[in-house]
Each structure stands twice: as C-alpha cells, then as structure tokens.
Amino acid sequence: MAKFLHTTLFENRLNKKTFCTITVFACLGMLLTFGCDKKVGQDIGVPCDQVTFTNNIGPLVKSNCALSGCHAAGTQQIPLLNYTDVKTIADDGRMKSYVIDGNPEFMPKGGQLSTKEKALVVCWIDNGKKE
C-alpha cells in the first residue's frame, strides 16, 4: 500500500511539473504570437506594401547614405545613387545587415536611423523592393 501511494504521489508530481511546463510554454507561445502582431505599416505612416524606392527609400538613402565621403559619386565606397545601386545591396543582404542589424556607430555616419526609417527599409525589402 505504501509503495502504491508513493508511486501515485510521484506520478502526480511529475504530471503537475509536466502540466506547468506545458502551460508556461503555451503562454509564451501565445504572447510571442499575439504580442508581436504589430502592423509596422501603421507606425511608418504608409502601408508596408506601398513603400517604394522613389517615394520613401530614395530620399532616405540620399539624406543618410549618398553623401560626400560615404556612398556618393566618386567615393571609394559603393555608390548608392539610384534604384539599381540600392536594390543591389538590398538583394545580397548587405543593406539589412549593415543598416538595420549593424553597428550604428559605423553606418550611417550621420547617426543611427530612427525606428521609423528602419521600419521603412525593412518594409521595402520584405515587400519586393518596389521602384
């Protein structure tokens, strides 16, 4: 009888631990799933699928990147003067890795892009890099 009681108590504790573990992970999963359901397009003032190079990214690049000593014509760096130039570095992943994930002390030299500007770049890249 004592052995049966001990086994039953152990199984109940194990079941409680398993239940608690599953509950914690389920709650975390729901939090990540629903807590991160943020519509970036609302934060940037334009729907994400309407971000274009001409209207959004070009002016951003011109004022932050295509500067003397950086990515302007005649510099040693890769020129970022037009849609094709910028799309090329976006296609190979450098734009995201340097500007979004990279070192803000390094690029852009004028200071880190704002959250809104970074969101514009991510929207543009993730939605097909429209001209």
Q: What is the value of pTM for the model shown? A: 0.62
| Model confidence pLDDT, tens digit, residues 101-120 | 766 566 677 677 888 998 99
* CA dist., res. 30 & res. 10, Å (int): 30
| Model confidence pLDDT, tens digit, residues 32-74 | 555 444 444 447 788 988 999 999 999 998 988 877 778 877 7
**The two structure tokens encoding residue 81:** 């003067």
